[in-house]
C-alpha cells in the first residue's frame, strides 16, 4: 500500500550528470528546431518547436503584463489543456513561477489560494469562470486571461515571433531574475493539519533533476508518449509526467480530466507508453467492463502511488502493464521506491542516497525494527512505530510565505540537537527486519480523499456552522481501496436531534465546501472524547472509525470519486443509518483489497 499524506509519485534521487540541462528553461530552449510531435490533445498535435515558440510568446507577454514591483507569479486555473504546459514553459523562460490553482476549491478559500501565492496574473478558461464569480480577487480584471476567449489570441498575436533564446527575464520584486537552477518555478499546494493549504516551492533545478532522474529510471526516449490524465495542478502530473517527457524529448498527451472509460481509447489513439496515476484512478480503470483486447495497448509503465498491491497485480494481469509504486512528496523531502522484492503491505526502500529512518518524534532516536508474525501482523508496534525522517541531504525548498510550516518540516532544532536539519515527513512508519518501510498512519490530521489532500481543521470550521452541533471533530477512516474517507463526529446541542436531510441541505449551501470535503460517515456522540489536556482525542475517534457504539449515518453514494456536494450544483449527499448489513458489506471490500488491517491501528 502507498502512503496517504501530501504525496505525489516517488522521484528516484540519483545524481544528475553535469552535461544535462540544469533548468527547465534550458530544456524548453532545446525544443526549438525539433519538428517531431511534442503534444497531443484531442484531434490536435503540435511539435516541440511549436511548444517552444508558444512558450516564448507567452513569456514575452509576461514582460508586458506583470507589474515591476510584484512577485512574478502566475496563477493557472485550467484543466489539462495545451495552455497549461505552455505557461509552465513560459514561466521557466521568464524566470517566473506558476501556482497551480485547484478547481475543487470553493469561495473564499479559492480566493485565498490566489492571494497567498501573490499571483499577479491569473490564467483560466470559460469553464472555470463561475468559480471566480463574486470573489474578492487580489488582481484587476485585465490581468485575468481567459485562454478560450478571442481577446486572448489578439493579446498574444504581437509576440508570435518571439524566440526562446531571446526572452528577457521578467521583473519581479524590484528586479529581473535570470532563470537559474535556484529560480522558483512551481508553487504546489499541499495541505496540512493547520488549516489552509501550504504552497511548496519547487525550483527549476529540482524539477529538471527530477525529470532527468525519471528519464534514467524508466529509460524514457523520444519515441515515448506520456499520457497525462491526472490534473496538472498536482505535482504528480508535472513532476512525474511532464518533466521526464521534456527531459527525454518525449511527447505528452493531455486528457482534460481523468476518464476511466476514455483511458484505453486515448492510450491507443495517442500511442501512449507511460502514464501517471494517484490513488483510486487504478480502481476506476479496473471497474470498467473487461474486454478481450484489454492487453492490446502500447503502454509500458504506469507510475504513481496509492494503487495498492492487490489492484496493481489486477491491473498488470488485465492490461499487461506494470505499475511502479512508491512514496514521495511534492516538497521533495523523502522518497521510497517499491522494488520487485517488496513484500505485501510495505512501501519499499529508500531512494539511492537517502538516509531515511523511523524515529521517536520526541527524541529523534531511531526505533527498533518491527517484528511481524507469519500473517504479517505487527507484534511490537508500541516500540517500532515512529515518524519517518530523512537524516541526509533533502531537496525540500520550503513553503511560500509560511516560515512556521517550513520550520516544522525541519523542526527548527538547534545545531547538534537530535533531528536538527532533518526532513520530518509527518507520516508514521515502521521498518521491518529486511529494511522495508511500512506506512502506519499520520502524525497530524490530514486526510487524502480521491487523491486530494484535505485538512481536518478546514472541514471542521465549515461543519461548525451547523446550528444543531455543539462540537465537531473531523478525521480520516481508511478507504477500502486507497486513501481516506471523511468521517465527522457531531456532539449535538441539548434537545437537538440529527436530521439527515437538514444536514445534507446545510452542506449543499456552504460556498467553501470543496467537492471532496462532505463527510461520508457521521457519528452522533453525546460529547466529543478529549485528552487529559482537554484536546479532542482524534486518535480514539480514528481507531473506532465507523465501528462504534453510537449511531452512525452514512452516504453510500458520497464515496471518493463522486462529485461530493459542490456548492450551487443542486446535488447533495443522501444520508441514511449505517446498518450491520452495511458494515458487513463494507468490511468485505476492505478484505478484498487487503486493507482490513488499516482499521485495526
Cell of 230: 491526472
Phi first, then psi: give them for residue 204, nearest 5 degrees.
Answer: -60, -40
Q: Report pLDDT for 451.
A: 74
CB atoms within 10 A of CB 523: 24
Q: Tell me if residue 190 falls in helix, strand or coil.
A: strand
pLDDT band at 559 (very low <50, low <70, confident <90, very high): low
Whole-model pTM: value is: 0.81
**Burial bucket for residue 600 (CB in 10 Å: 0-12, 13-18, 19+):** exposed
Average pLDDT, the chain: 87
pLDDT band at 344 (very low <50, low <70, confident <90, very high): confident
Minimum mean pLDDT among 333-347, 406-420, 493-507: which range?
Answer: 406-420
Q: Report pLDDT for 74.
A: 97
Q: To 10 degrees, what angle do helices 48-65 and 83-94 make?
A: 60
Domain 357-442 in CATH 1.10.260.40? The answer is no
Query: In sequence order, what are the residues at sequence separation of 6 or more whose Cβ sits closer than 8 angstroms to the Cβ of residue 230?
Result: 236, 237, 241, 258, 276, 277, 278, 281, 304, 451
Q: Report pLDDT for 531.
A: 62
Q: What pLDDT, in 10s, does the model give residues 398-424?
A: 999 999 999 989 886 555 566 778 999
Where along the chain do the CATH 3.40.50.980 domains lie? 24-179
**Mean pLDDT over residues 276-288, rounded?**
85
Q: Is the dihedral of CA 305, 307, 309, 313 positive or negative?
A: negative
**Burial bucket for residue 419 (CB in 10 Å: 0-12, 13-18, 19+):** buried
Place of cell 478559500: 109
Per the CB < 8 A criterion, the answer to whether 284 and 304 are in contact is: no
Distance CA 317, CA 314 (A): 5
For residue 238, give the nearest of 394, 80, 56, 75 by alpha carbon. 80
CATH of domain 446-600: 3.30.300.30
Where along the chain do the CATH 2.30.38.10 domains lie? 357-442
DSSP 149-170: SHHHHHHHGGGTT--GGGPPPP
Distance CA 596, CA 545 (A): 12
For residue 263, give the nearest of 313, 238, 229 by alpha carbon. 229
Residue 574 has pLDDT above 80, yes or no: yes
Distance CA 271, CA 265 (A): 10
For residue 252, give the nearest of 82, 38, 29 by alpha carbon. 38
Residue 1 has pLDDT above 50, yes or no: no
Where along the chain do the CATH 3.30.300.30 domains lie? 446-600
Q: Report pLDDT for 173.
A: 59
Minimum mean pLDDT among 25-39, 330-344, 425-439: which range?
Answer: 330-344
- Annotation: CATH topology of 24-179: Rossmann fold (3.40.50)
Query: In sequence order, what are the residues at sequence separation of 6 or more whose Cβ sits closer than 8 angstroms to the Cβ of residue 13?
Result: 213, 335, 351, 352, 353, 354, 395
Amino acid at each position: 500500500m502507498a502512503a496517504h499524506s501530501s504525496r505525489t509519485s516517488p522521484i528516484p534521487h540519483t545524481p544528475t550528470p553535469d552535461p544535462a540541462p540544469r533548468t527547465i528553461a534550458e530544456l524548453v530552449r532545446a525544443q526549438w528546431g525539433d519538428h517531431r510531435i511534442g503534444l497531443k490533445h484531442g484531434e490536435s498535435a503540435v511539435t516541440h518547436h511549436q511548444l517552444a515558440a508558444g512558450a516564448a510568446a507567452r513569456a514575452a507577454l509576461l514582460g508586458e503584463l506583470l507589474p515591476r514591483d510584484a512577485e512574478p507569479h502566475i496563477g493557472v486555473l485550467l484543466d489539462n489543456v495545451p495552455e497549461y504546459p505552455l505557461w509552465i514553459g513560459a514561466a521557466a523562460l521568464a524566470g517566473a513561477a506558476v501556482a497551480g490553482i485547484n478547481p475543487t476549491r470553493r469561495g473564499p478559500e479559492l480566493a485565498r489560494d490566489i492571494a497567498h501565492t501573490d499571483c499577479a496574473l491569473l490564467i483560466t478558461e470559460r469553464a472555470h469562470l463561475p468559480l471566480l464569480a463574486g470573489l474578492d480577487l487580489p488582481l484587476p480584471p485585465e490581468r485575468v486571461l481567459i485562454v478560450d476567449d478571442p481577446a486572448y489570441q489578439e493579446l498574444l498575436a504581437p509576440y508570435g515571433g518571439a524566440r526562446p533564446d531571446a526572452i528577457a527575464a521578467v521583473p519581479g520584486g524590484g528586479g529581473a531574475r535570470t532563470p537559474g537552477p535556484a529560480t522558483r518555478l512551481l508553487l504546489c499546494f499541499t495541505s496540512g493539519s493547520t488549516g489552509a493549504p501550504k504552497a511548496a516551492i519547487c525550483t527549476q533545478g529540482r524539477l529538471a533533476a527530477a525529470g532527468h532522474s525519471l528519464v534514467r529510471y524508466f529509460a524514457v526516449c523520444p519515441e515515448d508518449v506520456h499520457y497525462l490524465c491526472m490534473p496538472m495542478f498536482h505535482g504528480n502530473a508535472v513532476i512525474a509526467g511532464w518533466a521526464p517527457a521534456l527531459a527525454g524529448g518525449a511527447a505528452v498527451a493531455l486528457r482534460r480530466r481523468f476518464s476511466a472509460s476514455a483511458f484505453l481509447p486515448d492510450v491507443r489513439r495517442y500511442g501512449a507508453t507511460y502514464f501517471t496515476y494517484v490513488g483510486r484512478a487504478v480502481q476506476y480503470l479496473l471497474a470498467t467492463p473487461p474486454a478481450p483486447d484489454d492487453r492490446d495497448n502500447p503502454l509500458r509503465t504506469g507510475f504513481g502511488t496509492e494503487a495498492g498491491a492487490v489492484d496493481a497485480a489486477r491491473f498488470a494481469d488485465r492490461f499487461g502493464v506494470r505499475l511502479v509504486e512508491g512514496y514521495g512528496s511534492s516538497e521533495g523531502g523523502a522518497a521510497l521506491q517499491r522494488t520487485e522484492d517488496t513484500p505485501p503491505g510495505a512501501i519499499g526502500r529508500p531512494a539511492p542516497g537517502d538516509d531515511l529512518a523511523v524515529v521517536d518524534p520526541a527524541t529523534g532516536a531511531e526505533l527498533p525494527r518491527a517484528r511481524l508474525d507469519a500473517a504479517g501482523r505487527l507484534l511490537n508496534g508500541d516500540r517500532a512505530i515512529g515518524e519517518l525522517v530523512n537524516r541526509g541531504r533533502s531537496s525540500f525548498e520550503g513553503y511560500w510565505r509560511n516560515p512556521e510550516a517550513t520550520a516544522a518540516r525541519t523542526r527548527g532544532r538547534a545545531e547538534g540537537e537530535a533531528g536538527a536539519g532533518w526532513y520530518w515527513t509527518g507520516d508514521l512508519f515502521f521498518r521491518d527486519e529486511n529494511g522495508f518501510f511500512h506506512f502506519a498512519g499520520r502524525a497530524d490530521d490530514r486526510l487524502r480523499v480521491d487523491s486530494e489532500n484535505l485538512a481536518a481543521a478546514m472541514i471542521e470550521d465549515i461543519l461548525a456552522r451547523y446550528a444543531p452541533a455543539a462540537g465537531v471533530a473531523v478525521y480520516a477512516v481508511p478507504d477500502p481501496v486507497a486513501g481516506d474517507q471523511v468521517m465527522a463526529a457531531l456532539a449535538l446541542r441539548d434537545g437537538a436531534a440529527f436530521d439527515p436531510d437538514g444536514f445534507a441541505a446545510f452542506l449543499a449551501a456552504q460556498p467553501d465546501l470543496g467537492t471532496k470535503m462532505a463527510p461520508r460517515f457521521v457519528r452522533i456522540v453525546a460529547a466529543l472524547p478529549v485528552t487529559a489536556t482537554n484536546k479532542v482525542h482524534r486518535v480514539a475517534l480514528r481507531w473506532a472509525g465507523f465501528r462504534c457504539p453510537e449511531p452512525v449515518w452514512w452516504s453510500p453514494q458520497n464515496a471518493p470519486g463522486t462529485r461530493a456536494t459542490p456548492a450551487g450544483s443542486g446535488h447533495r449527499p443522501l444520508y441514511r443509518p449505517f446498518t450491520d448489513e452495511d458494515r458487513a458489506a463494507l468490511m468485505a471490500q476492505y478484505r478484498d483489497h487487503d486493507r482490513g488491517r488499516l482499521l485495526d491501528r
